Structure 1
Amino acid sequence: MHRHELTDREWELLAPLIPRAVTGRPRVSDRRVINGMVYKIRTGISWRDLPEPYGPWKTVYTRFRRYALDGVFTRALQQIQAEADAVGDINWLVLIDSTIVRAHQHAAATGRKGGSTDDEPDDHALGRSRGGLTTKVHLACDGKGRPLAILLTPGQRHDSICARPLLERIRVPRTGPGRPRCRPEGVIADKAYSSRGFRAYLRKRGIAHTIPEKIDQQRHRRNRGRSGGRPPGFDRETYRQRNMIERCFNRLKGFRGIATRYEKTATSYEAAVTLASFLLWARSV
């Protein structure tokens, strides 16, 4: 095994979920191609610059694009989450936050005049923010700092708007009968998620939450007197665990192809983030 390649354990977890053709010419080894994908995401190089040991770059890119559209990496991530949940290894105190990723000039040339497709938004999750052309990665992770759900938006999108759709993306299948687990035991988030609507949504689902109240919200509530209601509960000791999601972002951005967006389409970039998330899980179980 060389640097940036899958370990035997990681390949053992991923191999059963890789589609295999039953007809046609003999194809390049699946493990060799997946290693090429991991190398590309780890280093952030261009697809055309993949080293020869990983096979023809077009083969690696074509399979990556096919797996991205088919949701192969998403199913792999859900499978490893399901196995961890079956043995009680998931801490369901969920943390949510987002991070800004600068888009490289190669990702900016998307040709967005053709409109959207079923699997690709019109804007390709690219937008203008203070950092220029950026993508925002919204992430929900468990209490051990491992990704549970991912959502991509343009960089200028506010966190509070995406909180509900992000939580609704959490779907950890059961290894036996039963519906996927979707409801956390609690949610920890920073002040960006402090809104009456989001708090009401969490209470409706029976999810405890630890979210600090913004100063202007405190002032507005106090100015209203008794009609302003009681302040929301806030446990400082629980909130200290929020550093776990910052650690998760730090590990994800250890992949240079994640720290800077080089992929033109949101589908491909999300597949890259999902594959990196799978590797974080595989190294923790």
Structure 2
Amino acid sequence: MSDFLMLTPEQMRPIEPYFPLSHGVPRVDDRRVLSGILFVIRNGLRWRDAPADYGPHKTIYNRFIRWSRLGVFNRIFAELAAQGGKTDNLMIDATHLKAHRTAASLLKKGLYPDVSDAAVAD
């Protein structure tokens, strides 16, 4: 697969501390699962259409849901944004964003991102 995405160990190193620790049974490699999550989201695929190289699609989906509820992605994004330093301009291009028909139910399920701690734009 030419479009295969796999994060390198160097890319994983700064974000590894934000993932929850494994309790008991060793879990599937976080790097492989996170790469699968990014691949599915980047390509707009259904979870079941994730290539088998990333592991079982159910594992990828369950890990995405669990990490979302635990705020893992919010903490990673906040840390990476803080490392980037101050910017003079902030631009958001939403011309390519699309919402799935079930996106409206995310707020009810508690999966809506918490932006209350986000910096306010001047």
For the criterion TM > 0.5, the same-fold answer is yes
The TM-score normalised by the length of structure 1 is: 0.35
The answer as to 2:108 corresponding to 1:116 is yes
CA spacing shift, 1:111–1:60, aligned 2, 3 Å: same
Task: Give the partner amino acid of 1:116.
Answer: K
The TM-score normalised by the length of structure 2 is: 0.74
CA–CA separation in structure 1 for the residues paired with 2:104 and 2:43? 26
Partner of 2:64: 64
CA–CA separation in structure 2 for the residues paired with 1:47 and 1:33? 12
The answer as to 2:96 corresponding to 1:95 is no
CA spacing shift, 1:97–1:35, aligned 2, 3 Å: closer
Deviations 1:31-90 (A, max 9, x none): 1111111111222221001111211111110000111111111101111233333xxxx2
CA–CA separation in structure 1 for the residues paired with 2:80 and 2:74? 10
Whichever structure has more strand as a proportion of its residues is 1
Unaligned runs of 5+ in 1: 122-149, 152-164, 171-181, 188-285
Partner of 1:42: 42
CA–CA separation in structure 1 for the residues paired with 2:73 and 2:91? 21
The answer as to 2:27 corresponding to 1:33 is no
Which stretches of structure 1, 4 residues or longer, exceed 6 Å deviation after superposition? none
Identity %: 30
Unaligned runs of 5+ in 2: none
Alpha-carbon shift at residue 109 of structure 1 (Å): 4.7
Tell me the SS of whatever aligns to 2:21: coil
CA–CA separation in structure 1 for the residues paired with 2:35 and 2:92? 30
Q: Answer yes or no: is the 8 Å Cα contact 2:37–2:64 preserved in 1.
A: yes
CA spacing shift, 1:169–1:19, aligned 2, 3 Å: same
Deviations 1:105-156 (A, max 9, x none): xx315795xx935x257xxxxxxxxxxxxxxxxxxxxxxxxxxxx97xxxxx
Task: Give the partner amino acid of 2:12.
Answer: W
CA spacing shift, 1:43–1:99, aligned 2, 3 Å: closer
Q: Which has the higher contact order (CA 8 A, sep 6+)?
A: 1
